[in-house]
Each structure stands twice: as structure tokens, then as C-alpha cells.
Structure 1
Amino acid sequence: MKRQLINPPSTQAMYDRLHFSQATRAGDLIWVSGQVGVDPTTLKPADGMETQARLAFEGVKAVLEAAGAGLADIVELTTFHTDLRGDMPEFSRVKDEYLPDRYPSWTAVGVTQLALPELLVEIRVVAAAGSGDD
């Protein structure tokens, strides 16, 4: 089984500068690196949990599509929150829009900080390509 690095064209500079892939695929399994709520036009963290969560899920979606999979293929979700209890209701509403059924395994972790001080949430997933097909 060959390992494939997944880096959509819009993330190539990050790969070159920070030396990590947005995802790694081996066979049907895809490990997506943590995605955060950074506005793609300004490259700055968005305001508020809802907007950051949407941007992070859009990042997950784009990386999975580049790897030949989709949101329905997510089998494990891990989220990191700087205010786990306070932001969970708002985060969960957004999560349920992106993952409306066939819920994956999910671990939510409270952390004291993320890569940038303004970040509120980081999302990483493991997906099995084709597993979400009916």
C-alpha cells in the first residue's frame, strides 16, 4: 500500500513553509490534519465560534475532496476547543449541519491554546474513502 500526500493547490505554500501535509492517504484511509477557522482571503482567524467552525469544516471538506472522499466518509472526528463547555452548543449546531447523520466517532478535547491566540477550535478527521456511499 502506497502512502499519498494530499495538499490542495491552495495549501502548497503551507506545505513548503511548515513541512506538513493537509492529509495523508494510505489505501482507503485518509488522515486529515487539523483544520482551523482562518479566513482564506485574509489568512486571519474569523470572529466567533460559528464562523470558525464553518471555515474549519470547509477546510476538512476541501481536503477530503482532494483525497477522493467526502464528509460522509468521516469515521472519526477529533475537535480541540479553547472553551470546551462554553462553545460546545454553537459548535455542535455547525457540526450537525456538516455531519447530519451517520455520526462518526467523536472526541472533543479542551485545550489551553491553539496555533494562534484567536483560534477557538481545530478539527481533525480520519476518513475511509467510499464508506459513506449508500
Structure 2
Amino acid sequence: MQHDVTATSAPRRQPNFSMTRRAGELVFVSGQMAFDEGFRIVGDDVTAQTRTCLENIVRQLSAASLGASDIVKTTVWLTRVEDFAAFDAAYGTFFGNVVLPARSTVRADLMVPGALVEIEATACHAGVRT
């Protein structure tokens, strides 16, 4: 069964897509940018924006009773290649001792002015992963 599991405290929704979708044991979180509650980009550097993106993902996952340790795959878009090292450090710090998800990272132009990073995630309950 598939359904939207969007967190109620999430930033205002973009039109025409679901923030999250469940498909069986998997939960897919749409790309998250460093939006605050007013749907404004926060953070002047990729470190702050990465942390906010990941916090937004975890907020979405909490509606499905999942957390950071349940993320199995992320896809990351960076606007500047030179931000990769700072992004990677912030990403590693965020996950701490959690087994890092598989990840793809690419450079891309993002749709929102001021956005330096966008991250989407796939998660599943820890008991289901192999």
C-alpha cells in the first residue's frame, strides 16, 4: 500500500508532489532544501544548509516512525563542486555513529535562489534492511 506520510510540522508543501511516500517497507522523502517554517532558505553556507536539509528529512521520516538510522540511500545535489568537502563533513557529523547511507552526489543548478544543497532520502525500518 502506498500513501503520503508527510509530517504535520514540515515547511509548507510545494505544489504537485508528496513530501513522502511509502511503498511497502520503504519510505521515500522528496528532495529537501534548507527551508525554514516560512519556506525561506536558511543558512549562508553549505554546512548550515546541509544540516537543515537533513533535519527536514528526519522530520518527514518521524511521521512514519523512522529516523536518521533508518535512512538507507540519499541523493544529493550541490550547486558548487567546491562545496563538496564542507558538505561531506557536515553530512558525516550529522549521522555520527550511524551506519552511513549509500549516497550519490552530483553538481546541479537548483530551482530555488540561494539553495546550495538539496537532499532526498529512502528509508526503511531497521529490522527490514539487509
- Does the alignment reach a TM-score above 0.5? yes
3-state DSSP of counterpart to 2:55: helix
Aligned counterpart, 1:89: 85
Identity of aligned residues (%): 28
Q: How many residues align?
A: 127
Shift of 1:22: 1.0
Output one character per residue of 1:89-127: Cα deviation in whole Å (capped at 9) or x when no partner: 11111111222241211100111x212121000000111
Shift of 1:28: 1.3
Shift of 1:132: 8.6
Which residue type is aligned with residue 69 of structure 2?
A
Aligned counterpart, 2:26: 29
Output one character per residue of 1:48-104: Cα deviation in whole Å (capped at 9) or x when no partner: 1111111101101101111121111111111000012x1111111111122224121
Aligned counterpart, 1:5: 4
Q: Which consecutive residues of structure 1, in runs of 5 or more, have no partner in the other structure?
A: none
CA distance in 1, matches of 2:56, 2:20: 11
CA distance in 2, matches of 1:132, 1:123: 23
3-state DSSP of counterpart to 1:21: coil
- 2:61 aligns with one of 49, 60, 64: 64
- 1:57–1:107: structure 2 CA closer, same or farther, 3 Å change rule? same
Aligned counterpart, 2:13: 14
3-state DSSP of counterpart to 2:28: strand
Q: Which consecutive residues of structure 2, in runs of 5 or more, have no partner in the other structure?
A: none
1:7–1:23 Cα contact (<8 Å) kept: yes
Aligned counterpart, 2:117: 121
RMSD of equivalent CA atoms: 2.0
3-state DSSP of counterpart to 2:52: helix
1:72–1:132 Cα contact (<8 Å) kept: no
Aligned counterpart, 1:45: 41
CA distance in 1, matches of 2:104, 2:65: 24
3-state DSSP of counterpart to 1:9: coil
3-state DSSP of counterpart to 2:13: helix
Q: Counting helix residues as a fraction of each chain, which structure ranks higher?
A: 1
CA distance in 1, matches of 2:48, 2:69: 21
TM-score (norm 2): 0.87
Structure 1 runs (4+) greater than 2 angstroms displaced = 10-13, 130-133
